[in-house]
């Protein structure tokens, strides 16, 4: 699906509302989401069938030019093949007309994106962990979701209903006045809508093109450095030397006792068994819903606290400096994983990025992951080679400064803003931090692996040897990409 690009002066924003459907409307919602899952599974089976057929033919000794041709997975190709098969396929022939065409298009678009991600991952053209081949979605585990891009998509004038294709008018649990006011004023245009079921409640999320309103910050010439932590969620130090700490609410720890009790109740009920095909009992479903409500409340409390923090910071300072934390690596520490996940370090950085850029036209500087903010003295600039995590007070051997470890790191991050005179400083320019010698304070050589040689050459300014697969053209056909399968 083609990515939408907003017009100059406009941004794409989501408005999400909880729904209150009646019994008939809820059956229609589940039917549409089930149709999207069925179309996805059909696309995965249709594409991979040619893969297995080719593999079987190769084992028979059939020549390459006589093998079964690859089946394309582009969205237009999948739509064409699905439209030809839905009339004859017994899985769709009797009920496909009951749902909107957007439901099937949602599943086909998701399948096309899944195959694209798999091919890019195999060709080393996708960041992150390796992606495997797309798998079928289970009816019991699949998330109920469906997207509408065409047809009647609007917010009704009474502020209490929304209208979606084929589903009709649905009552909302909360007023839609915030979006309705913008639509009526001509400063917003609805692009698409997505219905989704989460923890016992249906939601409608509208993708809206909204006119950008820039608000001037309170202190445009001030910069703030934010040091994130577990004991204290954030330590804020501005360019004037003022330091203030934001306590960690620890929402998950507050309900941990209740979660344990509800989990024990769920474990004592007769739950589903995939191996034997046993369905869950009514008491298990009721207990599981009670446990999910606790999780859902914690999620909402955490999101509310993070939004309040990031909104206040973005509205006050002209420059915000945050660290590029390796959150995935930090979560491997089993002693701190639960509290790190509860803090939401990645979400804080994401919210600061778009709020400073879209709402206030200020900048966010992302310090390098190897910048020694905690090891460097904020007074004289001396750097320590080692600083264990259990040492919470920084004592400088050069100037004798004694300061809290987190306060020292926040001051160093705030001072980093003055040195970053090039680049826009937004999330796209993550290398705007000044180059420092020996940034990690390493006292031994790095292992001579392919990844470390590449990183060392990049830091030293030398030529980086490309990966052999990266020297090939990036405009590969699907058949060439699938030779790696």
- Tell me what pLDDT residue 7 has: 65
Q: What is the pLDDT of residues 382-430, one digit of tens each?
A: 888 888 888 889 999 888 889 999 999 999 999 988 877 433 333 334 4
pLDDT of residue 3: 52
Q: Tens digits of per-residue pLDDT, 75-125?
A: 999 999 999 998 888 888 788 889 999 999 999 999 999 999 999 999 989
**pLDDT per position as a tens digit, 361-380:** 999 999 988 899 999 998 88
User: Where residue 71 falls among pLDDT bands split at 50, 70, 90?
Assistant: very high
pLDDT on residue 363? 92
pLDDT higher at 481 or 465:
481
Query: pLDDT for 215-268, tens place per residue?
Result: 999 999 999 999 999 989 999 999 888 999 999 999 999 999 999 999 999 999
Confidence of residue 446 (pLDDT cuts 50, 70, 90): very low
Of 97, 14, 123, give the one whose Cα is nearest residue 479. Answer: 123
User: One of 227, 238, 353, 407 is an active-site residue; which one?
Assistant: 227
Question: Which pLDDT value is given to residue 428?
Answer: 35
Average pLDDT over residues 53-82: 91
Q: Which residue reads 């804020």 in tokens?
A: 236
Q: What is the Cα–Cα distance from 306 to 236, expressed in whole angstroms?
A: 14
Q: Is the pLDDT of residue 481 over 70?
A: no
pLDDT single digits (tens) 261-287: 999 999 999 998 888 989 999 999 999
Catalytic member of 316, 342, 406, 407 = 406
DSSP result, 139-180 = TTTS--EEEE-SS--EE-TTSSEEEETTTEEEEBSS--HHHH
Report the mean per-residue pLDDT for the chain: 84
What H or E segment, with its residue span, contains residue 428? none
CB 237 within 8 A of CB 243: yes
Domain 222-246+303-419 in this protein, CATH class: alpha beta
Nearest to 179 by CA among 355, 17, 15, 7: 15
**Of the candidates 253, 247, 231, 232, the residue with the CA atom closest to the CA atom of residue 298:** 253
Nearest 10 degrees: Cα torsion 40, 42, 48, 50: -140
- Of the two residues 2 and 335, the one the predictor is more confident about is 335
Q: How confident is the model at residue 458, as a pLDDT?
A: 37
H helix or E strand, kind and range, residue 34: helix 23-59
For 64, the 3-state DSSP assignment is: helix
Active-site residue (options: 102, 238, 316, 323): 323
pLDDT at 29 over 90: yes
Burial 136-151 (b: 16+ CB within 10 A, else e): ebeeeeeebbbbbbee
What pLDDT was estimated at residue 40? 96
Note if 323 is an active site residue: yes
Confidence of residue 5 (pLDDT cuts 50, 70, 90): low
The reported pLDDT for the residue numbered 128 is 81
Structural tokens at position 316: 């006050």
Where in the chain are the domains? 24-144, 222-246+303-419
The beta strands (E) that lie in 156-259 are given as: 161-164, 168-171, 188-198, 201-211, 219-228, 232-238, 243-247
142 vs 212, residue with greater confidence: 142
Q: What angle do CA 408, 412, 416 make, to 5 degrees?
A: 170
Residue 347 among the catalytic residues: no
For residue 484, pLDDT beyond 80 = no
Position 451 pLDDT exceeds 50: no
407 flagged as catalytic: no
Q: Are strands 317-323 and 363-367 parallel, antiparallel or unpaired?
A: parallel
pLDDT of residue 225: 94
Element (H, E) at 19: none
In the numeric block, the tokens 């830091």 are attached to 459
Burial class (CB in 10 A: 0-12, 13-18, 19+), 269: middle
What order do you get walking across the sheet with 145-148 strand by strand?
A: 10-18, 201-211, 188-198, 145-148
Query: Quick one: pLDDT band at residue 433, thresholds 50, 70, 90?
Result: very low
Phi–psi pair at 81, nearest 5 degrees: -65, -40
Q: Are 143 and 134 within 8 A, CB to CB?
A: no
């Amino acid at each position: 699906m083609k990515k939408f690009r907003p017009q100059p002066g406009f941004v794409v924003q989501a408005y999400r509302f909880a729904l209150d459907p009646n019994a008939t409307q809820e059956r229609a919602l589940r039917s549409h989401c089930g149709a999207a899952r069925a179309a996805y599974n059909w696309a995965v089976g249709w594409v991979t069938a040619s893969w297995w057929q080719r593999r079987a033919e190769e084992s028979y000794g059939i020549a390459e030019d006589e093998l079964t041709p690859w089946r394309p997975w582009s969205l237009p190709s999948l739509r064409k093949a699905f439209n030809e098969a839905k009339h004859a396929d017994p899985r769709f022939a009797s009920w496909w007309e009951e749902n909107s065409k957007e439901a099937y298009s949602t599943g086909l678009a998701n399948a096309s994106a899944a195959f694209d991600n798999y091919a890019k991952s195999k060709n080393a053209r996708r960041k992150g962990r390796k992606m495997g081949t797309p798998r079928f979605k289970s009816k019991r585990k699949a998330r109920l979701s469906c997207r509408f891009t065409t047809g009647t998509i609007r917010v009704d004038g009474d502020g209490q209903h929304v209208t979606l294709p084929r589903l009709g008018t649905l009552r909302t649990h909360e007023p839609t006045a915030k979006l309705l006011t913008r639509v009526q004023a001509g400063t917003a245009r609805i692009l698409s809508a997505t219905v989704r079921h989460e923890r016992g409640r249906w939601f409608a999320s509208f993708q809206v093109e909204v006119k950008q309103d820039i608000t001037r910050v309170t202190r445009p010439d001030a910069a703030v450095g934010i040091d994130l932590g577990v004991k204290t969620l954030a330590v804020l130090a501005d360019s004037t030397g003022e330091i203030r700490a934001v306590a960690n609410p620890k929402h998950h720890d507050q309900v941990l006792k209740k979660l344990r009790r509800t989990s024990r109740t769920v474990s004592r009920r007769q739950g589903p068994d995939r191996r034997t095909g046993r369905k869950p009992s009514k008491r298990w479903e009721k207990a599981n819903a009670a446990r999910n409500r606790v999780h859902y409340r914690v999620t909402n409390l955490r999101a509310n606290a993070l939004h309040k923090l990031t909104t206040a910071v973005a509205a006050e300072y002209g420059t915000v400096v945050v660290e590029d934390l390796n959150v995935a690596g930090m979560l491997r520490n089993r002693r701190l994983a639960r509290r790190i996940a509860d803090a939401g370090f990645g979400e804080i950085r994401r919210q600061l990025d778009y709020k400073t850029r879209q709402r206030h036209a200020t900048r966010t500087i992302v310090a390098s992951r190897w910048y020694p903010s905690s090891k460097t003295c904020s007074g004289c600039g001396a750097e320590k080679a080692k600083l264990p995590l259990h040492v919470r007070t920084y004592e400088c051997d050069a100037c004798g400064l004694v300061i809290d470890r987190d306060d020292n790191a926040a001051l160093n991050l705030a001072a980093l803003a003055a040195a970053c005179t090039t680049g826009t400083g937004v999330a796209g320019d993550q290398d705007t931090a000044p180059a420092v010698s020996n940034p990690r304070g390493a006292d031994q050589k790095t292992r001579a692996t392919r990844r470390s040689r590449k990183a060392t050459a990049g830091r030293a300014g030398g030529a980086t040897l490309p990966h052999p697969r990266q020297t090939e053209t990036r405009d590969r056909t699907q058949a060439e990409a699938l030779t790696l399968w």
